[in-house]
């Protein structure tokens, strides 16, 4: 895992309300488990065509005020389209303006509707250009892309090879556009789940050291016997499915989804206890002897050790970004051990 | 969708009956929903080795008589095999002879048992050669291939890249040979369904602008309590599964299957009503205002619009090829609106 | 099918018992259906770090004594890791030492944790180097690899292309490391099954003429009502699933698993009877006539014939390696017919 992204929460950057930055502001000021790892101010599909400029200005207005205290990362989604030059031009303008004005508060940009590798490289080039123009170090701003065209899926291996050594940091699934592009259909109320794509995307993200994020789940509410309720179990099913296949995080459209995905993609207290214990025992055994180290009857080789260490490092990252989450989720003594234990195989 | 191919119906071009062209003739003269989008006179596995020459002659005899009134396209399947020079030579002779004699009535050729990209390019070259020899414009005759070897599946991405700019127009799954090539086995009466292949083939066909067609379903009849009946539900299950994954059409072995697949791969009256309404409302709103257009509370961007327009364009294509199908399937007034509505985003 | 590998049985080459070669010896002397097609003396994860040298010596001690009477092939698994030079260096030393001392008794080597094509080529180069150094013909020693990193999966197509013309002979799935590398998680006790990977691996193995082998199943025992028992049905489910998808064989961790996988991956007596009968009838018809040959109302083309012949050739291979298995599994008269029938399409 290169990076922490349990939650990829999009927030429309301008909406037709009195406070057009309402959702953006609420995302930036969320606390506890409502705070996402990545907040994605959405200037693309979440914002009406007539409000794009206002969306950019909202981001420019709010980041200086809220970003310094925001624990996660901030990744605006700009306009882009592999098959339409005008959208790419707008995306270029949006990236330039945001880097010029609030580059210090942005971790990277999200480009939707990318095509094959050359299109992703063009988007990466636009970010590089803005970095140079406004005096940022090469590579200080990242790029993530929404995988929602057949061309992007076709080139996942090439994206992984590119991503292993570039500013490309994340692959995010976009099922609605993808299904439309393939002409897929809902049959008996069931949409295709695209298991093959998710498995391949998870693999290639791991191969290239990228984060892999699932698609949005928009059926937030269900109705039964005349009562409408937030459908927590349905979203949990999707997030667990994604976690099982090794996706690093899930897309959130709502603070309630963020709470769920943050928790599901986090090591459980039992996992943390188990892995901290293994490392502590390994450290003790190592200091008191030579040769192979056995812990609880299990031989600890470097691969096994790395799995334990991953758990601890993930918890440390979460603690650094969101200390109220770790404080609520883990026992204080266990968290202390996780923070203090020495991580070194040799 | 580049092309209309809800149904890929193979008809053996010569069978050991009094009228050896019985099935070919019946395919060419089918009407209503029994008329397939693509009729595939089968000179390959559907025709006995001893009747190959007669199969070619049957096609030459019947096309001038029936093709002018046939609404769909005509794509003979010739012999071919990536690993056997003799089959390729026979395929070459069959293509040359058919182009020479009935080239005006043929839309393209289907090559089975292709291997990697170089083999598909060889087949495309044979069609190009016949075009030149008999005075047809370059690219006037298409090529579709049956994906039924591990080499062809391995090269699906390369076929999509080639197909984006060549006479390659279709990818058709061939599960029987494919399963045998991989050594797959029926376990407890259940054959492998190859979901991964179908998902990838659907993706790559979309990436390359090709049509993607599912494999044949040969268990036409079932038996219960001593009564044998045509198993409509089993075939419908397969066709719906294929439609869900974005395949453009299904393979048909029988007029009854053609009726089913034509209907399942066709926009429903409800879908057509909904999308015609959206476009009509969009057109009204566009002419009366500026900026973002809302329809029924939904913002219409170009991607959304294209989905609506796809439905209408598909229905227009079906209407052009098979007016009796659209007349039977849709209300007259709705069909008139679908034919008349202006399709232009700007 | 290039090669027979119904069972890939790993045996730790040194264990902390009085006889450190206990499991290796038991694998080499197994008989009947307990004898695997490939015995894999495991010097990697099955052997403790402190016992690696002893593991190599055990293999050197036992092969001259037992290998001449062992019916299957012998493929030691050595240390290797695409991302750690030290493991590759140890693997190189182990390969050199084994080829020097017992090269006559070894069919090839298994390299774990390989990465992309270049890493697999490096492993192949080490085997080539040992061949040259100790006077073996080029290509006399094979290489198989464990697919357990995202890089290896990403390069499966490239491995197939390389394998079609090199010493690479097998692709073996390693689900535990693979799941850890992708960060996949067990949800409600259910591990991801990686169907997409298995389908792709089966396809690419067939495309490159390699054997494809499933991953180990380590839940050997289950418990119910206080009684612990060997869980034969659970392993059979996995092996049948693998057979359905065209994998050539299954990984075995125990003689009981070997018995099961040997049988499931073997043509059933009904299959053998059917295919021997088809070929006998084909031979009779061929000798008594000309043109297309019909058998039981079915036209026999070359592809159909090859399927029948495959069954017979597989049984002959099993008979050659493990005559007690074929004697136990098939009726004597049927086995005789399978051994005698002439296999020639023309």
The beta-carbon neighbor of A182 closest among B203, B303, B306 is B203
Higher pLDDT, residue A255 or C303: A255
Residue B1: per-residue pLDDT: 41
Q: Summarize pLDDT for A98-115 with one digit per residue, the tens.
A: 999 999 999 999 999 999
3-state secondary structure at position C227 = strand
Contact flag A292-C187 (C-beta cutoff 8 Å) = no
- C77 part of a folded domain: yes
What was the ipTM of the complex prediction?
0.93
Cβ atoms of B110 and B78 within 8 Å: the answer is: yes
Residues of chain B contacting residue A187, judged by C-beta atoms under 8 Å apart: 240-241, 243-244
CA distance A191 to A213: 19
- C346 part of a folded domain: no
CA distance A332 to A273: 12
User: Residue A168's beta-bridge partner residues?
Assistant: A143
> What's the rounded mean pLDDT across residues B33-47?
96
Q: Which of B214, B242, B264 is the last residue of a domain?
A: B264
**Does the structure show a pLDDT above 70 at B184?**
yes
CA-based nearest residue in chain B for residue C291: B50
> What's the rounded mean pLDDT across residues A187-193?
86
Residue C187: per-residue pLDDT: 85
Contact flag C244-B185 (C-beta cutoff 8 Å) = yes
CA distance A306 to A38: 25
CA distance C8 to C251: 5
Could you tell me if A67 and A39 lie in one domain?
yes
CA-based nearest residue in chain B for residue A116: B207
pLDDT band at A121 (very low <50, low <70, confident <90, very high): very high
DSSP string over A120-134: HHHHHHHHHHHHHHT
- C75 part of a folded domain: yes
CA distance C275 to C312: 7
**Does the structure show a pLDDT above 50 at B123?**
yes
Q: What's the predicted TM-score (pTM) here? A: 0.94
Could you tell me if A144 and A206 lie in one domain?
yes
User: How many residues does this entry show for chain B?
Assistant: 346
Contact flag C1-B183 (C-beta cutoff 8 Å) = yes
Residue C150: per-residue pLDDT: 98
Which tokens in the block code for residue C320? 């050659």
Contact flag B182-C204 (C-beta cutoff 8 Å) = no
Cβ atoms of A13 and A59 within 8 Å: the answer is: yes
Alpha-helical runs (H) found in B11-71: 22-28, 52-66
The beta-carbon neighbor of C177 closest among A199, A303, A310 is A303
Residues of B with CB under 8 A from a CB of C: 45, 48-51, 84, 149-151, 153-154, 177, 179-188, 190-192, 194-197
Residue C169, domain CATH: 3.20.20.60
> What's the rounded mean pLDDT across residues B121-133?
98
Residue A292: per-residue pLDDT: 60
**Does the structure show a pLDDT above 80 at B325?**
yes
Residue C304: per-residue pLDDT: 78
Residue A2: per-residue pLDDT: 53
**Does the structure show a pLDDT above 70 at B74?**
yes
Find tokens 């075939």 and name the residue.
B235
> What's the rounded mean pLDDT across residues B230-244?
96
CA distance B119 to B154: 13
Total domain count, chain C? 2
Domain hosting C244: range is 7-264
Q: How far is CA A298 from CA C15, C102, C113, in A?
A: 13, 32, 20
Inter-axis angle of helices A195-208 and C195-208, nearest 10: 80
Q: Summarize pLDDT for C184-220 with one digit per residue, the tens.
A: 988 888 889 999 999 999 999 999 999 999 999 988 9
Q: Summarize pLDDT for C282-316 with one digit per residue, the tens.
A: 888 877 655 567 777 777 777 778 889 989 999 99
Q: Phi, psi (5° rounding) for residue A312?
A: -65, -45
Residue A198: per-residue pLDDT: 97
CA distance C70 to C40: 13
Chains interfacing with B (3 or more CB pairs < 8 Å): A, C
User: Residue A38's beta-bridge partner residues?
Assistant: A8, A73
Residue A288: per-residue pLDDT: 67
| Chain C nearest C-alpha distance from A306 (Å) | 9
Q: Summarize pLDDT for A294-325 with one digit per residue, the tens.
A: 777 776 777 778 889 989 999 999 999 999 99
User: Residue C8's beta-bridge partner residues?
Assistant: C38, C251
Contact flag A160-C180 (C-beta cutoff 8 Å) = no
- C297 part of a folded domain: yes
Could you tell me if B128 and B147 lie in one domain?
yes
Could you tell me if C284 and C180 lie in one domain?
no
pLDDT band at A235 (very low <50, low <70, confident <90, very high): very high
Could you tell me if B86 and B130 lie in one domain?
yes
Q: Which segments within C7-148 are labelled E, that is strand? A: 7-12, 38-42, 73-74, 108-111, 142-147
CA distance C178 to C184: 8
Residue A191: per-residue pLDDT: 87
- C189 part of a folded domain: yes
Residue B190: per-residue pLDDT: 85
| Chain B nearest C-alpha distance from A153 (Å) | 8
- B2 part of a folded domain: no
CA-based nearest residue in chain A for residue C153: A203
Find tokens 């929602």 and name the residue.
A148
CA distance B97 to C136: 54
Could you tell me if C105 and C27 lie in one domain?
yes
Mean pLDDT check: name the lowest of A49-53, B89-93, C62-66. A49-53
Q: Which of C264, C282, C304 is the last residue of a domain?
A: C264
Residue B334: per-residue pLDDT: 97
Could you tell me if B178 and B283 lie in one domain?
no
Which tokens in the block code for residue A134? 């406004």
> What's the rounded mean pLDDT across residues A173-178?
94
Mean pLDDT check: name the lowest of A61-70, B152-161, B244-253, B299-308. B299-308
User: Residue A68's beta-bridge partner residues?
Assistant: none
Percent pLDDT > 90 in chain A is 86
Chains interfacing with A (3 or more CB pairs < 8 Å): B, C
For A146, the enclosing helix (H) or strand (E) is strand A142-147
pLDDT band at A3 (very low <50, low <70, confident <90, very high): confident
- B179 part of a folded domain: yes
Q: Summarize pLDDT for C142-182 with one digit per residue, the tens.
A: 999 999 999 999 999 999 999 999 999 999 999 999 999 99
User: How many residues does this entry show for chain A?
Assistant: 346
Residue A286: per-residue pLDDT: 78
Q: How far is CA B244 from CA A153, A189, B169, in A?
A: 18, 11, 21
Residues of chain C contacting residue B218, judged by C-beta atoms under 8 Å apart: none
Could you tell me if C216 and C320 lie in one domain?
no
Residue C15: per-residue pLDDT: 94
Residue C25: per-residue pLDDT: 98
CA-based nearest residue in chain B for residue A181: B206
Percent pLDDT > 90 in chain C is 85
Residue A1: per-residue pLDDT: 41
| Chain B nearest C-alpha distance from A17 (Å) | 15
Calculated CA dihedral for residues B180, B186, B190, B191, nearest 10 degrees: -10
Picking from C261, C169, C259, C162, the residue whose alpha carbon sits closest to that of residue C215 is: C261
User: Residue C250's beta-bridge partner residues?
Assistant: C7
Q: Which of A227, A248, A264 is the last residue of a domain?
A: A264
Could you tell me if C173 and C275 lie in one domain?
no
Could you tell me if B105 and B163 lie in one domain?
yes
Could you tell me if A279 and A167 lie in one domain?
no
Selected residue of A212, A213, A245 to mutate for chain C interface (largest C Cβ count, 10 A): A245
- C125 part of a folded domain: yes
Could you tell me if B28 and B59 lie in one domain?
yes
The beta-carbon neighbor of B177 closest among C202, C303, C310 is C303
Query: B108-111 and B168-173: which strand pairing?
Result: unpaired
Alpha-helical runs (H) found in chain A: 22-28, 52-66, 85-102, 117-133, 150-154, 156-163, 175-182, 195-208, 232-244, 255-264, 269-288, 302-321, 323-329, 332-340
CA distance C82 to C123: 10
**Does the structure show a pLDDT above 50 at C1?**
no
Contact flag A207-C154 (C-beta cutoff 8 Å) = yes
Percent pLDDT > 70 in chain A is 97
């Amino acid at each position: 895992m290169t990076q922490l992204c349990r939650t990829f929460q999009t927030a429309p950057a301008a909406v037709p309300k009195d406070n057009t930055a309402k959702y953006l502001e609420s995302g930036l000021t969320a606390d506890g488990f409502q705070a996402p790892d990545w907040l994605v101010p959405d200037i693309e599909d979440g914002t009406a065509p007539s409000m794009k400029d206002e969306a950019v200005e909202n981001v420019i207005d709010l980041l200086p005020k809220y970003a310094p205290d925001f624990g996660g990362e901030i990744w605006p989604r700009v306009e882009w389209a592999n098959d339409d030059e005008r959208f790419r031009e707008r995306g270029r303008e949006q990236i330039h303006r945001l880097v010029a004005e609030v580059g210090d508060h942005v971790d990277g940009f999200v480009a939707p509707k990318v095509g094959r590798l050359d299109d992703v490289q063009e988007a990466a080039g636009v970010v590089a250009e803005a970095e140079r123009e406004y005096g940022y170090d090469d590579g200080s701003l990242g790029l993530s892309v929404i995988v929602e065209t057949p061309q992007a899926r076709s080139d996942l291996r090439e994206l992984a090879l590119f991503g292993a050594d570039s500013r490309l940091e994340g692959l995010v699934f976009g099922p609605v556009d993808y299904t439309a592009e393939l002409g897929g259909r809902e049959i008996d109320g069931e949409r295709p789940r695209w298991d093959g794509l998710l498995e391949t995307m998870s693999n290639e993200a791991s191969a290239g050291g990228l984060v892999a994020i699932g698609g949005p789940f928009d059926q937030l509410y269900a109705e039964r016997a005349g009562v409408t309720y937030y459908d927590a179990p349905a979203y949990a099913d999707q997030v667990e499915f994604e976690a099982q296949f090794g996706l690093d995080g899930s897309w959130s459209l709502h603070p309630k989804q963020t709470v769920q995905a943050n928790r599901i993609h986090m090591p459980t207290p039992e996992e943390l206890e188990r892995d901290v214990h293994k490392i502590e025992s390994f450290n003790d055994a190592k200091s008191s002897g030579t040769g192979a180290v056995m812990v609880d009857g299990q031989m600890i080789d470097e691969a096994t050790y790395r799995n334990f260490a991953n758990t601890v490092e993930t918890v440390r990252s979460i603690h650094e970004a969101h200390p109220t989450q770790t404080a609520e989720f883990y026992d204080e003594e266990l968290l202390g051990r996780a923070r203090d234990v020495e991580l070194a195989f040799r």
